[in-house]
Amino acid sequence: VSFQVSFYDEEQQPSGEGLISVELGKTIDREMITIKYEGKEQNVRYLLVDTPETNHPQLGKQPFGQQAKERNQELMNSGQLEIEFDIGERIDKYGRLLPYIYIDGESVQEKLIEEGLARVGYVYPPNTKHLDQYEKAQERAKKSGPGIGSLEDYATARGFGSKK
C-alpha cells in the first residue's frame, strides 16, 4: 500500500488552460493578496472587480466590505490557487500583478460578484477577457438581491455610495 502526500510545489499541474499555479503568501484585503510568483512574493490586485472598503478615507467602513474581506480569505484558504493573465498590462502603477484569480479552477472574481460582495469595475481594455461573464454574474446578483445589490443606489459605475 502506498500513500501519496501532496505538498505545494512549482510543478503542480494547472486545472485549466492558461492557468498558472501559485502559492498564496497572504490575504491582504477584499480583492488583494500576495503570492509567490517567479521566485518572489508579489502583491496582486484582482482584475475587473471592485469591493466595498473596510476603511475608506472619507466614508469609513462601507456596507459589505468586511463580508467581502472575510469571504475572500475563506476562498483563498479553500483550495489550489491559480492565476491567469489577460493580454494587456500585467502590472499596475503601484507595482501589483493584475491577474484573474481561481481556486480549484473556479473564478474568485465571479464568485464575489455573484454573492453580492463585489461589482464589475476598473475595466481597462484590453484586459477584458472575462468582462461579459462577470457582467452576467452581476446581473444575476442584482436579480437575486444578496449583498451590495440589496442597497438602492449603493453600487454605481463610479464605486460605492455612502448610503447605508
Task: Return the active site residues.
Answer: 45, 53, 96
How much is the CA Rg of the chain, to the nearest whole Å? 16
Is residue 101 within 8 A of residue 86, CB to CB? The reply is no
Cell of residue 157, nine digits: 459605475
Q: Checking DSSP bridges between strand 155-156 and strand 40-45, what pairing results, if any? A: unpaired
Nearest residue to 118 (alpha-carbon basis) of 69, 58, 56, 163: 69
Amino acid at 53: E
**Which residues are paired to 117 by β-bridges?**
none
